[in-house]
Homo-oligomer: A and B are copies of this chain.
Amino acid sequence: MQFLQNNAAFATLIGAIIALVFAGVMAKRVLGFDRGTEKMKKISDSVKAGANAYLKRQYTVVSIFFAVMFAILWVMVAFGKLTAFVPFAFITGGFFSGLSGFVGMKIATAANARTANACQSGLNKGLRVAFSAGSVMGFTVVGLGLLDISVWFILLKYAFKLNASDITSAMLTFGMGASSMALFARVGGGIFTKAADVGADLVGKVEAGIPEDDPRNPAVIADNVGDNVGDVAGMGADLHESYVGSIISAMALGVVAFDGNFRALSVPLLIAACGILCSLIGTFFVRTKEDADQKALLGSLGRGTNLSAVLIALISFPIVWFCLDGKKTIGLYFAILAGLLAGVLIGRATEYFTSDSYKPTRNLAAKSETGSATIIIGGLGLGMLSTALPIVIVAACILIAFFVSGGSVAEPAKGLFGIALSAVGMLSTLGITLATDAYGPVADNAGGIAEMAGLDASVRERTDALDSLGNTTAATGKGFAIGSAALTALALMASYIDKIKSLLPDGDFTFDLMNPKVLVGLFIGTCLPFIFAALTMDSVGKAAQSVVIEVRRQFREIKGLMAGEADPDYAKCVDLCTKASLREMILPTIVAILAPIVTGVILGYQGVVGMLAGATAGGFLMAIFMSNSGGAWDNAKKYIESGVHGGKGSDQHKAAVVGDTVGDPFKDTSGPAINILIKLLSMVSIVFAGVVVSCNWLG
């Protein structure tokens, strides 16, 4: 154990390599399956081409941003405000985050037709293909994250011989790179996917009355491309950022809590590395019998994730015990457990509020009886109400993690490390939780292909079973993502304060709510998620409107389209979505980067801390509200489609489709993007702390 601790970074590097090798093996397995008929291949190729084209253009735009930021950071290096590692760390963070999304997208577009084809021979085979594709994504995300962390760590420690505090300080910068990239991916991809989805649904389903994924709908390929660039590539970049952020913030706080030496650093690193092994073992337990029903499928996924969680819970004990001070610091272990448990509980709460197996979503579906206005009001209310449980869970987790770790109001360092570790605990088995999450969009796409290629109805039924399961696992995944975001943001806030302390040793480090700068910062911070949600929703609205107009035009102008005699112009819709989402993703990102700098320059670092606290609290609430409202509307619609309240095509169903359409940007664009926002704000604050300290108006 001593040996492991001293070489934690190498152990982590090995963990990263294992994850990447496993991802490679899984990818090979996926590619070994057959893609089916010519028609399926053709459709799959169009989706792939659209996704590739989008990502290529997105990465071009993002590169410009990164080049500009690199130059800005470089100027700051020249003025002695930053160390020279920072600009490079920023770039690699962004690169690996983008790569995570790219790999995920590649495998997802490769797996969609294969899953549809596999579903022809049965549910189990379909699950195997889709889940393998999800695993590629899951293990690539964690593998690349740990690779980045361990290589930088080894470089800075052994080649440049920096001390622990300088290392973690430099590493927070690649967190900022990863967050910026994640925000672009989430916002850009989120706008793309929802513009296409909303556009396709509004004209196709509501106005023209043709089914979902009908090949006559000109936006149907764009919709499928959107699943890949938004739900897959966006989510990959997003969770890569969460994962990396939680680990490096825990490392930074560990150094502070344990007097600046390397000892505590090894804990998050080793937990992450072991988490990969536990996830890997878990994946072998995801399999099901051929005649499995939905419950058995869910059970098999649950078996995998639960097993991984139990394993990491067991392994964390010796890690904390031996790496730190045995019994004296074992409280930190319980902080990790609290985090693991909180993640599971938030996921359960999410499921309760958004699954049609429970009362809230069923009641929501019943509101369709009185039209779209009442189902909208109901869904908004449901989402707002659903924030209560997660808030209580996270509040309990914060208090427990802080106090069991030996934190106190006078000496908070260990307590804050505990909070950071609870986030690491929550995300330690990300490899498998992400695999169970990412397979959803693959199954969704497979369904689309089955529909468009005119496969047997039983195939669509199977892909639907997989997809609907994906909605439940996605709910759990969201619980982890949102919960860990709040905890990580708090940890980063503590890191920011440590950073300021190092810059201004004689500053005032009480952040009292009665200090008007803190209070005003709090107001502004709480407002940021609202503005951010507004900007992203507005973007989706604008982009969707252009899709609606285009789809209507094609229905009107292309003769024989509705009769199935002519092909729609799919590429036009893909192109529209691409342009709109790239144009619209710029402003929200700039707001996120400028907000902490402007606040800092005007209100000083005390205002920044207030802002971070407000943004974390407000952002956590908005993210849950928007995700859960969206999820509940989606499932209420599916519930009606299952035959209640008039079933498909009824007025109630139309009302539910309106709800689902409003929910689309809620749950897949704005909500998840807020998760990234709250961490990016902290990262930017940390990196630009030097600027804030040297030029600040109110003193």
- Which residues of A does B touch, CB under 8 Å? 198, 202, 206-207, 367, 369-374, 376-378, 380-385, 387-388, 391-392, 394-395, 398-399, 402-403, 407, 409, 412, 415-416, 419, 490, 493-494, 497, 508, 510-520, 522-524, 526-527, 530-531, 533-535, 537-538, 540-541, 544-545, 548-549, 609-610, 613-614, 617-618, 620-621, 625, 658, 661-662, 665, 698
A594 to B394, CA, bound (A): 20
List 6 tightest A-B contacts by C-beta distance, closest first: A384-B534, A373-B661, A385-B534, A381-B537, A526-B617, A511-B513
17 new A-B contacts, CB < 8 A, other than A385-B531, A513-B613, are A202-B374, A370-B545, A370-B549, A373-B658, A374-B548, A377-B662, A382-B534, A388-B531, A391-B527, A398-B523, A399-B517, A409-B508, A510-B510, A519-B613, A522-B613, A526-B526, A527-B621
**Count of identical protomers in the assembly:** 2
Closest residue of B by beta carbon distance from A386: B534
Contact of A494 among B381, B514, B548 (CB under 8 A): B514
Check if A617 sits within 8 Å of B510, measured CB to CB: no
Which residues of chain B are within 8 angstroms of A516 by Cβ–Cβ distance?
A: 398-399, 402-403, 407, 412, 415, 419
Instruction: Name the residue among A395, A403, A516, A531 with the largest chain B CB count within 10 angstroms.
Output: A516
The smallest C-beta distance from A208 to any residue of chain B, in angstroms, reads 13
**Which of B206, B377, B384 interacts with A371 by CB under 8 Å?**
B206
Cβ–Cβ contact B409 & A377, under 8 A = no
CB contacts (< 8 Å) of A377 on chain B: these are: 537, 540-541, 661-662, 665
Q: Which residues of B contact A523 (CB under 8 A)?
A: 391, 394-395, 398, 617, 620
Known: A520-B398, A533-B384. A662 touches B373 (CB 8 A): yes
Nearest Cβ in chain B — how far from A489, in angstroms?
A: 11
B621, A376: Cβ atoms closer than 8 Å:
no
* A614 proximity list for chain B (CB < 8 A): 526, 617
Nearest CB in chain B to that of A402: its residue = B516
A665 nearest in chain B by CB position: B377
Asked if B613 and A520 sit within 8 Å, CB to CB, the answer is no
Contacts of A370 in B (CB 8 A): 202, 544-545, 548-549
Interface centre among A494, A549, A621 (most CB of B within 10 A): A621
